[in-house]
Structures are given as structure tokens and as C-alpha cells.
């Protein structure tokens, strides 16, 4: 039987320690192709490149079984190019990360890591975004490798529901302190943004985005609660943005009334 074909990408760039850790884990589980940005692309969301050219560069690797490419575009560009140009067949799985920093709660909206996974899901590929709640470039990924392997194995075996990808976040702690895995919902939280206004030596104003993360959700079934209590959080994410619960209410508006009166 053919080994599963696994596409690996991220948003921190192809040289980031997080993606190197992810490659190490999944290379034991299937045939691996890496297509990742050639530079950091954090917080790019679902951006794609439409007004510039895209470049792919193949990298030499010590493991001849693994094919690696860097891409000049966004994480979503990486997935699109891999699926449409590089790969001879559709991947059995796409894994994105391991991100340096949490993508829990509202961060999923801004995350390049998760947008790459969502793009794979749109293509009909089971996909997982992995993130560690540690923004340091020297973050320690060793404590979470066994959990990554376990989640990948279960996904390859069982598949995912149609239209769903997984957002997996790990707490920053020793392996012995991780209490287990929780299937969670996304916490209701937001960033309270502030802009640090400064003036350049040329006298021109410029801004640095800063802010404070505020969690308004006290539920114990959320991804934020799980991370704060040393659990791995797994949130099923859908890319159908329809607010299905609002359809009935909007249908009471009778938006065709004016047309009928005319």
C-alpha cells in the first residue's frame, strides 16, 4: 500500500524550528512534501497573491524521501501551489505549523497557520493547524511531539467531517504537566487594539499595532480554559461562514415587501 501523502506548511517560514519539529514527527507517518513561505508570514490570514509573481525554490535535504520547497507568497499560496502545481495526487493530509504562539480563540481569524489548513480543507483535504503557546524562536517543541503524532495518526485513520479542519493548540509546559487533550469550542475573546504613534527622523508619523487580549468567556469548555489549565485544545473549525441560526430571523424581515408594493 502507498504511504499517506502529507503536505506540510506554516506561516513562520521554512526555517522556523516549529516546522522542523513537525516535519520530524510526520516523516515517520508518510511521504512528506514541504511547501512553506521563504520568510515569516504571521497574521496574514487568508491572504493570497494576485498582483505579484510567485516563486518556488527547491531545497536540498539530508533525507532524500522528503521534498522541500520555499515559496515567496503567503501560507495559502503555498497550499494552492502545492495542490495545483507540485503534487501528482491530492494529499491525504495537510498539517500546518507548529506555530510559534497560540492560535486559540479569535486568533484563528488572523492566523496564517490556520488559513493554510483551511485552504487545504476547501480543497477537500483533511487538515490540522498546530500551535504552541510560546512565541519564542527557541521554543521547546519536544514535550508536544507525541501529542502531534497521536492526533495525526487518528486523523489519517478516521478522517474528518466534511467542511471541518482542526485547530490544535498546546500549552507551554513540561510534558509531565500536560493533563491531556480536550475537544473544545472557540472562546469568545477579542483583542483591544492600540496604536503606538511615533514620528520618524524625517518627521513623518507612523504606527505600531499593540493591544491586549481580553477573554470574556468563563466557560470551562473553551480552548483558552484548556490552555490555561495545561490541556491540549482541539477545536473543530468550519469554513462555511453562514450564520445558520440567523436565517429564520432574517426571513421575517420580508425584504421583498417594497418590490411587491411597486
Give 110-132 pLDDT, tens digit per residue.
999 999 999 999 999 999 999 99
Residues β-bridged to residue 57: 70
Average pLDDT for residues 228-249, to the nearest whole number?
96
Average pLDDT for residues 231-236, to the nearest whole number?
98
Residues 6 or more apart in contact with residue 216 via CB below 8 angstroms: 188, 189, 190
Which pLDDT does position 254 carry in this prediction?
85
Q: Which CATH class is domain 5-187+220-261?
A: alpha beta
pLDDT of 262 above 70: no
Query: DSSP class of residue 222?
Result: B
pLDDT of 201 above 90: yes
Residues 6 or more apart in contact with residue 75 via CB below 8 angstroms: 9, 10, 11, 36, 37, 41, 44, 96, 112, 113, 115, 116, 119
Q: Where exactly are the structural domains of the chain?
A: 5-187+220-261
Percent of the chain with pLDDT over 70: 96
Mean pLDDT of the chain: 94
Q: What angle do CA 146, 186, 210 make, to 5 degrees?
A: 95
Confidence of residue 64 (pLDDT cuts 50, 70, 90): low
Average pLDDT for residues 88-96, to the nearest whole number?
96
Which pLDDT does position 250 carry in this prediction?
94
| Beta pairing, strands 164-170 & 231-238 | antiparallel
C-alpha cell at 66: 522528503
Q: What angle do CA 256, 260, 262 make, to 5 degrees?
A: 120
Give 158-182 pLDDT, tens digit per residue.
999 999 999 999 999 999 999 999 9
Q: Are 66 and 23 in contact (CB under 8 A)?
A: yes
Which is more confidently placed, 92 or 254?
92
Weakest-pLDDT range from 2-16, 106-120, 141-155, 246-260: 246-260
pLDDT of 259 above 70: no
C-alpha cell at 161: 467531517
What's the pTM value of the predicted model, to 2 decimals?
0.92
pLDDT of 56 above 90: yes
Confidence of residue 235 (pLDDT cuts 50, 70, 90): very high
Helices (H), the chain: 17-26, 75-81, 107-110, 112-122, 145-158, 223-228, 247-251, 257-261
The DSSP result for 41-92, as a single string, is -TT-TT---SSS---EEEE--SSTT-EEEEESS-HHHHHHHIIIII-SS--S
Residues 6 or more apart in contact with residue 249 via CB below 8 angstroms: none
Residues 6 or more apart in contact with residue 231 via CB below 8 angstroms: 171, 178, 179, 180, 181, 182
Amino acid at each position: 500500500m502507498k504511504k499517506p501523502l502529507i503536505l506540510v506548511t506554516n506561516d513562520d517560514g521554512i526555517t522556523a524550528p516549529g516546522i522542523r519539529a513537525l516535519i520530524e514527527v510526520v516523516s515517520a507517518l508518510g511521504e512528506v512534501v514541504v511547501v512553506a513561505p521563504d520568510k515569516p508570514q504571521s497574521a496574514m490570514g487568508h491572504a493570497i497573491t494576485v498582483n505579484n509573481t510567485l516563486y518556488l525554490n527547491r531545497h536540498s535535504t539530508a533525507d532524500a524521501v522528503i521534498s522541500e520547497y520555499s515559496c515567496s507568497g503567503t501560507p495559502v499560496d503555498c497550499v494552492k501551489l502545492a495542490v495545483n502545481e507540485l503534487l501528482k495526487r491530492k494529499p491525504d493530509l495537510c498539517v500546518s505549523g507548529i506555530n510559534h504562539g497560540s492560535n486559540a480563540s479569535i486568533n484563528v481569524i488572523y492566523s496564517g497557520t490556520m488559513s493554510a489548513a483551511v485552504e487545504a480543507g476547501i480543497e477537500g483535504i483533511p487538515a490540522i493547524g498546530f500551535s504552541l503557546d510560546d512565541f519564542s524562536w527557541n521554543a521547546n517543541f519536544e514535550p508536544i511531539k507525541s501529542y502531534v503524532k497521536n492526533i495525526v495518526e487518528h486523523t489519517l485513520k478516521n478522517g474528518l467531517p466534511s467542511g471541518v479542519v482542526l485547530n490544535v493548540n498546546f500549552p507551554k509546559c513540561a510534558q509531565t504537566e500536560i493533563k491531556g487533550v480536550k475537544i473544545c469550542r472557540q472562546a469568545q475573546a477579542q483583542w483591544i487594539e492600540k496604536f503606538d504613534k511615533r514620528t520618524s527622523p524625517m518627521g513623518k508619523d507612523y504606527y505600531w499595532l499593540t493591544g491586549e487580549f481580553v477573554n470574556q468567556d468563563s466557560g470551562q469548555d473553551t480552548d483558552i480554559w484548556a490552555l490555561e489549565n495545561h490541556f491540549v485544545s482541539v477545536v473543530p473549525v468550519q469554513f462555511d461562514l453562514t450564520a445558520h441560526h440567523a436565517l429564520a430571523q432574517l426571513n421575517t424581515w420580508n425584504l421583498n415587501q417594497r418590490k411587491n408594493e411597486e
